[in-house]
Amino acid sequence: MKINGRIFRDMAISAANALDNHKEEINNLNVFPVPDGDTGINMCLTMSECRTELKDFDGTLSECAAKLGNIMLRGARGNSGVILSVFFRGFAKSLLGKEEADAVDLAAAMTRGTEEAYKAVMTPTEGTILTVMRVCAEQATATAESTYREDPIGFFRYLLSVAVDTLAKTPDMLPVLKQAQVVDSGGQGFVTILQGMLASLEGTPVQANAGNTVSAPGAADFSAFDTGDIKYPYCTECIVTKSDHYFGEEKCGKLHKTIMGMGDSVVFIESADMVKLHVHTENPGKVLSEAIRYGSLYTVKVENMRHQHTTLVEQITPTEPAKPYGLVAVCMGEGIKACFEDLGVDRVVFGGQTMNPSTEDLVHAIRQVGAETVFLFPNNKNIYMAAKQAEEMVTDKRVVVIASKSVPQGISALMAFDESADADTNQTAMTEALAAVRTFSVTYAVRDSVIGEQTIPSGAVLGLAESKIACVADDDFECIGALADRIGDASMVTLFYGEDVSEEDAQRAEQILRCKLDPLCELVSIPGGQPLYHYIISVE
């Protein structure tokens, strides 16, 4: 028996269903580096579109693998999602031109995929999804020829056993996993994919759980109106798994009323344990922040309908670049968006921690900018890999990714931009500017976890220094005070306060900072409007 295109198609769809069915379990393992719980959602969204785009596919193995790789690259979200998409692209490259494959061919594809994934990560960390991939590839190569050449089912059973054993060892490789008593979430996602593929080979493919399946509406006829007619541009959907406080029928009427005031085309479905909502809105971050008050986000989808309309209706033809440089930045919050636009950014892509934009979102924004060179600012380390993939995908102009890991770093880099300088000089200057700013932030834990010797309960206020937990507090003000003690010498401090922070609370936080900073240090407070993070502090 060999794997052909149809068999591989069914394996991929089964794997996508398995991820969808188990994404919350994978989310609940996500404690590294911060317990933000989004790996399952990101991996699921990365692979989910193959269930519709491959459904009626009937081609060779090479064609199917290539199509899967492209689908996943377009939908890649978060570090684990991007790693997964790169793995399957490498997998497809190894199978190029093959109508079918035996275990030896599949082992070679595993190896190529793993090599591509490692190359895509700036600093590979062992004890993660990469380790599970690598050990599987090594063992596959060692046994495919001698034992499993004509037995793909036995081959995948063996791969799964290797993956499970390797996953169980990840806490010994990554201390934070051992402290939290969990295995790596990305590695668990990879195991789930292998389980789905094997189930398909054995004749029992994984089906999507009925409770998780939402019928998609037919495509709208956008040609009947202009892009400007779309008053609320963001189609925002999510499923909320209710917290204990809201468990039961008709407990979320206040959420329904709030969402009704945030846009139009509202669909709100409530059962005893979940809420499914849909709304067209101007501020998806605010919608999601309201929803998360009632429980945990099970799935999230945000689409820009203005972009969709432009793509579907207009025939886009190449034009000569209108200017030498363009700027694209990723951020959340209307106030922060305004800051980037004031600094000359041409396109702002909505996204950040736990709400990572896809590679396709970034590519779309880059292509909208008429410039010879576009500088892209991801402003979050979890978006950097998707940004690098976008850089590779755009070939009709130069794209340069500035490795900004936070909003303050992005702003600092933009302030070093000189329109009269050449691209290389600008890249150097903006990259050097990243080191001149430090970032502190205040958020909250989404699940119980253990970091070092400290137990962190769900809902605890977390103070982060450069994305690492610096303190745990009972409230925002205690946290601000603890972070202020870490600031030290500074000439300029900017406090961005979030959409859920009142002006009165922001003034109190500002006063706490003033009392602890050098009197000569300039302090500016700005309504950033960002969700999830109550405060972001830029220190220069």
Q: HEC string of 379-448? A: CCHHHHHHHHHHHHHCCCCEEEECCCCCHHHHHHHHHCCCCCCCHHHHHHHHHHHHCCCEEEEEEECCCC
Residue 157 and residue 413: Cα distance in Å, rounded? 49
Report the pLDDT value the prediction gives residue 150, as an integer from 0 to 100.
Answer: 87
Beta bridge partners of 276: 239, 269
Other beta carbons within 10 Å of 153: 14
Helix (H) or strand (E) run with residue 538 in it? strand 535-539
- Whether 410 and 437 have beta carbons less than 8 Å apart is answered as no
Reported residue count of the chain is 540
Domains along the sequence of the chain with CATH: 3-206 (1.25.40.340), 230-308 (3.30.70), 318-433 (3.40.50.510), 438-539 (3.30.1180)
What pTM was estimated for this model as a whole? 0.61
Q: 33 preceded by cis ω (within 30°)?
A: yes
Report the pLDDT value the prediction gives residue 26, as an integer from 0 to 100.
Answer: 87
Closest alpha carbon to 409 in 494, 289, 324: 494
Report the pLDDT value the prediction gives residue 409, as an integer from 0 to 100.
Answer: 95
Low-confidence stretches of the chain (pLDDT < 70) are 31-38, 76, 78-79, 120, 122, 210-230, 237, 265-271, 276, 278, 299, 301, 303, 305-321, 354
Report the pLDDT value the prediction gives residue 219, as an integer from 0 to 100.
Answer: 25
Report the pLDDT value the prediction gives residue 259, as an integer from 0 to 100.
Answer: 87
pLDDT tens readout for residues 70-90: 888 777 676 688 789 889 989
Report the pLDDT value the prediction gives residue 197, as an integer from 0 to 100.
Answer: 97
- List for the chain the helix, strand, coil content (%; round to 5): 50, 20, 30
Report the pLDDT value the prediction gives residue 449, as an integer from 0 to 100.
Answer: 78
Closest alpha carbon to 361 in 302, 283, 285, 298: 302
Report the pLDDT value the prediction gives residue 223, as an integer from 0 to 100.
Answer: 39
